[in-house]
Amino acid sequence: MTTTQTQQKDLLGRDLLVRLRRIEGQIRGIARMIEQDTYCIDVLTQVSAASRALQRVALALVDDHMSHCLVDAARAGGEEQEIKLKEASDAIARLVRS
């Protein structure tokens, strides 16, 4: 990895950690709503919001994978490229289905 790539990766890592911390808080908030017997539709709204936030984390990871691992693998070519493409393809399929 070049210095720029490492810096970008650190930046992404920090951003993802902030988002995950927030999602953790959302999940705890949902648990509290259930303990307090909040109306189910309002709980559902928060579950949908947490799901979307988690989806954005996944999309950021896919982007990161493509712009680093896939690009490196494409330049290396051969088997390395095939393996990385297959991994990316499977991960995207799991994401689309989840």
| Site residues, its own copies (CB under 8 A) | 13, 16-17, 20-21, 23-24, 27-28, 30-31, 34-35, 37, 40-41, 43-45, 47-52, 54-55, 57-59, 61-71, 74-75, 81, 85, 87-89, 91-98
CB 91 within 8 A of CB 65: yes
**What does the alpha-carbon distance between residue 68 and residue 80 come to, in Å, rounded to a whole number?**
13
Question: Shortest gap between Cβ of 58 and its own copies (angstroms)?
Answer: 5
Question: Shortest gap between Cβ of 53 and its own copies (angstroms)?
Answer: 10
67-75, long-range: CB within 8 Å, 24+ apart, which pairs?
68/1, 68/5, 68/9
Q: Which is nearer to its own copies, 7 or 89 (CB)?
A: 89
Question: Shortest gap between Cβ of 77 and its own copies (angstroms)?
Answer: 8
Q: Which is nearer to its own copies, 35 or 79 (CB)?
A: 35
**What does the alpha-carbon distance between residue 73 and residue 56 come to, in Å, rounded to a whole number?**
24
**What does the alpha-carbon distance between residue 2 and residue 19 come to, in Å, rounded to a whole number?**
26
